Amino acid sequence: MIKKENEEMNEKDGDFAKGCLIGIGLSIPVWAFVIWVLFKLF
C-alpha cells in the first residue's frame, strides 16, 4: 500500500519537473523577444 503511494508521488514529481522545464523553455524565446523589442525602442 505505502509502496504504491510512493510510486504515484514519484510520477507526479516527474510530471511537475517536466512542466517546469517546458514552461522555462517556452518563456525563454518570449523574454528574448521582449528584450529585443526594448532595445529596438530605446
Q: What percent of the chain has pLDDT over 70?
A: 90
Q: For the beta carbon of residue 28, count every other beta carbon within 10 angstroms.
A: 10
Report whether pLDDT(37) > 70. yes
Q: What is the pLDDT of residue 7?
A: 74
Is the pLDDT score of 1 beyond 70? Answer: no
Q: What is the pLDDT of residues 19-33, one digit of tens each?
A: 888 888 889 999 999
Half-sphere exposure of 39 (CA within 13 A, CB side): 6
Q: How many helices (H) and strands (E) does the chain have?
A: 1, 0
- What's the rounded Cα separation, in Å, for the pair 34 and 32? 6
Placement of cell 514519484 in the chain: 10
Give the pLDDT mean for 9-16: 79
